[in-house]
Amino acid sequence: MNLKVFYCDKLFLGVDSFNIECGLSTPNIEEANINQMMLSMSKRVIAVFDSSKCNKRSFAFIAPVDKIDFSDCHGGVSNFHRQEVFRPCIS
66: CB partners within 8 A, 6+ apart: 88
Mean pLDDT of 77-82: 52
Mean pLDDT of 9-25: 92
The pTM assigned to this predicted structure is 0.76
Whether 71 has a pLDDT exceeding 80, the answer reads no
Q: Residue 24 — very low, low, confident or very high, per pLDDT cuts 50/70/90?
A: very high
- The rounded distance, in Å, linking the Cα atoms of 49 and 29 is 19
- The rounded distance, in Å, linking the Cα atoms of 58 and 78 is 22
Give the pLDDT confidence of 27-48 residue by residue, as tens digits: 999 999 999 999 999 999 998 8
